Structures are given as C-alpha cells and as structure tokens.
Amino acid sequence: MKRVGWGIIGCSDIVQRRAGEALRSQPQSDIIAFHSRSLDRARAFAERYGAPTAYDDLDHLLADDRIDAVYVATEVDRHAEQAIAAARAGKHVLVEKPMALDVAQCRAMIAAAEESGVHLAVAYYARFLPKPQVMRSVIAAGRLGRIVRAVIRVIGYYNPDPSDPKHWRVSGRGGGNMLADVGSHRLDLLAYLMDSRPTAVCGFADHLSLPYQAADTETALVRFDNGAHVTVLANANVPHPGRLSSVEIYGTEGSLLTDPWSDEPVTVVGSDMAPVVVESPANAHFPMMDDFARSLAEGRAPRFSGQDGLWATAVITGTYESQRAGRVVEVG
C-alpha cells in the first residue's frame, strides 16, 4: 500500500492535543514537514513528532515533492488561501473546521481541488466517532419516526486575555464566536446524523456583556431539507462549571437526547430500544485522519468531501447575514 507524506501547516493547539499524534500513529503516514511563521516553532514541532523538515515559507513546503497531502491547522481566516494554494500545488487537503469564513471561500476551495484533481475534506472528526455512528444507524432504522426538530446548545464562558494565542477567535477573525468554533461541529454532525442539509436560516448575533469584538450571544433557527426545524443556542457569556453542550433530536416516534460527545449510552426516549453503550477512541482525531490517509494510500476518495464541510459554514454565515439584513437567508 502506498505511503502518504504529510505537511502540517500551522503549529497549533489542536496539533499538540490530537492531530500530530494521530498522524504519527497512522500506519500509512509519514510526517515530512511542519510550517509556521516562526521557524523556531516549526522546528520544535518537527522534533517533537519526528518530521525531518521545518519551513517558515509556505511555498517551499508546497514545492516539497515528498509531501502528498497537507493538514491545514491555522486560524480560520487563513484556511481558504492556504488550502487553495496547496490544491494548486497538487497536494490533497485536510483542513480544520470551520472550513472557511464564508460560503464563497468554501466554494473556491472546492473548485481549486476539483481543478487540480486532488481531494479536499474538512476535519469534522465527530462523523467518524463510534457514538455518532450508532446514533445515525438508529435514525436510519426509523427508530425516531420522522425527525421534526433538533436543538443544539453550546453555552459556556470564553473571555481570553488579549495575550492569549487563541484571542484571534474573538477578535473578529473567527467568523463568529461559540457558533463558529464549537457550534460548527454540532451543525455538521447534525447534518450527518439526519442525512440532510440546511436550506434556510435566520438568526441574531449580539454583544451583551463581554468586551471583545465577536458576538457573545448567538441564536439561529434553521430549516433542513427534511423539513426539520433546528434551533442553535450559542453563548460565550454564561459562567458555570464546564460547558452546557448538547445535540437533541426529536422525532414523531422517539427522541435522541444524549450529547454525541458524552459517555452516556445511546437511548431513544419514548422507545423500548435497549440503551447502547459505546466506547470513545483515545484520540478523537485518529479515525478521521486514518480514513483520509487510507483513502489516499488506496487511491479512493475520503468518506466525506469538501462539499459536506460547507454546510456548517453556510449556517454560520447565514446567521450573521440574517442579523444584518433582518430576513431569512436561503442556503444553497
């Protein structure tokens, strides 16, 4: 089986927490190089993960013939430019979530990959986790009947110091706040669980209490093409232990009220289905990265495309457009 050489663009928190180790342990993968605007940082990451090369010039990384694919793990406002450059250089692209700042950027990324004959996917790792797989199979088996409503909650407190490396998320560069950062995962996962996509959105995004540029209170009402109404509640200004996070799915014959990221059994409320206990992998990024690398090694497409990753961004940007225009925004 063919081996896959990787270039990692962005020496970020998610690389340290999960992605770097996931790629290092993937059987068909070799991490060839890291890129950072700081060469010292790129070298430190290269040493940590056993990569032979470090770059502070993206063009040099993209010209490296040992690299077949790149993982883009930078701030979201850099995703489109870097992913498009990588695709045009003939590299397959796995880009962190959310995909980009708006739908136009997403479509440009998709077009660049198609024109260059490379694969593009978005790092919505929850699609690959065992618990969502069970939840999707329960829905597909008709256990909920017709899905009529879902509620996504991402309610917590986020007020980073201006010196925090993650402050960019609330500086206006992140395309939103909780809705874009944590909510994008839930929106993407809901589309996958329901095998449906959003068609219209209206919403509000306001600054109610926190001092930074990004909205701290975001609400969206979304209609999906299966007819379901979805309410998204996102707050960064509610302090409490941990975060109130959930994806609730309501149907005409039963409901799934368990958060996909929790260790709770999969239980259908209103049904006699026995609860299903599912264990989570040690590294949540590994199944996604394993699929992407194996797909390249085997000469097939990854399970999910860049088009799949676009829909969460469409809801996020649609919410903000609805706020500005005071109307329902069609998602196409």
- The whole-number pLDDT of residue 241 equals 59
Residues 247 and 133 in one domain: yes
Q: Are residues 248 and 131 in the same domain?
A: yes
pLDDT at 244: 83
Residues 288 and 244 placed together within one structural domain of the fold: no
pLDDT digits (tens, 9 = 90+) for 49-62: 999 999 999 999 99
Dihedral sign of CA atoms 268, 269, 272, 275 in order: positive
CATH code, domain carrying 71: 3.40.50.720
* Same domain as 137, residue 9: no
- Is 17 in the same domain as 91? yes
Of 190, 193, 222, nearest to 315 by C-alpha is: 222
- Residues 25-76 have pLDDT tens digits of 999 999 999 999 999 999 999 999 999 999 999 999 999 999 999 999 999 9
d(CA 105, CA 78): 10
How does residue 332 score in pLDDT terms, banded at 50, 70 and 90? confident
Report the CATH number at residue 206: 3.30.360.10
* Mean pLDDT lowest among 109-118, 142-151, 161-170: 161-170
Per-residue pLDDT at 313: 98
Q: How many domains does the chain contain in total?
A: 2
In a domain, 10, yes or no: yes
* Helices assigned H by DSSP within 117-158: 130-140
Backbone angles phi, psi at 237, to 5 degrees: -125, 25
Residue 11 domain boundaries = 4-123+284-301
User: Can you read off the two tokens belonging to residue 53?
Assistant: 């090369």
Q: Is the pLDDT of residue 234 over 70?
A: yes
- Same domain, yes or no: 134 and 104: no
Note whether 251 and 138 are same-domain residues.
yes
* pLDDT per position as a tens digit, 183-220: 999 999 999 999 999 999 999 999 999 999 999 999 99
Local confidence band at 258 (pLDDT 50, 70, 90 cut-offs): confident
The verdict on 252 and 133 lying in the same domain is: yes
Q: Is residue 307 part of a domain?
A: no
Same domain, 98 and 42: yes
Inter-CA distances, 299 with 29, 53, 215, Å: 14, 26, 43
pLDDT at 1 over 80: no
291 within 8 A of 303, measured Cβ to Cβ: yes
Alpha helix (H) residue ranges in 70-177: 76-88, 103-116, 130-140
* Count of other CB atoms within 10 angstroms of residue 259: 16
243 vs 29 pLDDT, higher one: 29
Pair (105, 218) in one structural domain: no
